[in-house]
A and B are shown apart, each in its own frame.
Chain A
Amino acid sequence: MVTTVINVFIILLIGTGVLFSAVTALGLVRLPDVYTRTHAASKSATLGVLCVLAGVFLHFWFKEDHFNPQLIIAIAFLFITSPVSGHLIGRASYVAGIKLAEETVRDDLKGVLGPEAKTDEKK
């Protein structure tokens, strides 16, 4: 009984992870500009990988009777670093002056960060 519940849980976790990874790949192909693409890549890819890692962790813990703390460390590490890398890629592309998609209606960073920003605070 417990084995069945654990099995269902593991299958659900890994299935969710694979689904989110596929959604990430679809988003990278379909979305119009680099900012929306980093949005897709940093959010749903993180969740997908975290779900797969959690499923693998549960599998080895309950099925193979092996508690593997490296997977917990990997989950924490990816949870910290992946959004930060997405943020840095988006920021670097804005500083480099990459155009937004044509559908964009609002740009709060205009004149603050991009290449046309005033550089009078440059010292």
Chain B
Amino acid sequence: MRTNDVMLQTATKVVTFIILMFAVHIFFAGHYTPGGGFVGGLLTASAIVLLMLAFDIETVKKIIPFNYVMMTAIGLLLALATAGASIFFNVPFFTHAYDYFYLPLFGKTSLHSAALFDLGVYLVVVGVTMTIIQTIGEDE
């Protein structure tokens, strides 16, 4: 029986954006407060899973046309590149660097190369979680 789930779909349309914005906040807040790439990735994946629950898996694939296996690979490459870049500056493997920059909108900002590593973690977590859930969900 195909039930009418307009309640769930309408609530999902609002709530998904709150979860995604909160995931971005958690990701960027990870350096000074609790949070980081892992939790942010899980939150993003949970927003996509909520979309999959409210609509169906084909619709979500049309809305978000990412190849999650490629996303995992890009995340791993990014983490490895961040760690390996330190070799070219004659410092030990995995040495991070930071400096203060004057960005046009933000003013004086501290940019740290650990954020790039965290972005790699984020991409891997989203990719792996969504690969697992899509693979199980499509199993007939």
Chain A residues near B (Cβ < 8 Å)? 70, 73, 76-77, 80-81, 84, 87-88, 91, 95, 113, 117, 119, 122-123
Contact B3 A81 (CB under 8 A): no
B interface, over-half SS: helix
B63 interfacial by beta-carbon distance below 8 Å:
no
Query: Which residue on chain A has the smallest CB distance to residue B22?
Result: A73
Chain B residues near A (Cβ < 8 Å)? 1-3, 5, 7-8, 11, 14-15, 18, 22, 25
Contact A122 B1 (CB under 8 A): yes
Chain A residues within an 8 Å CB radius of B5: 88
Contact B3 A95 (CB under 8 A): yes
Contact B1 A76 (CB under 8 A): no
Chain A residues within an 8 Å CB radius of B3: 91, 95, 113
Chain B residues within an 8 Å CB radius of A95: 1, 3
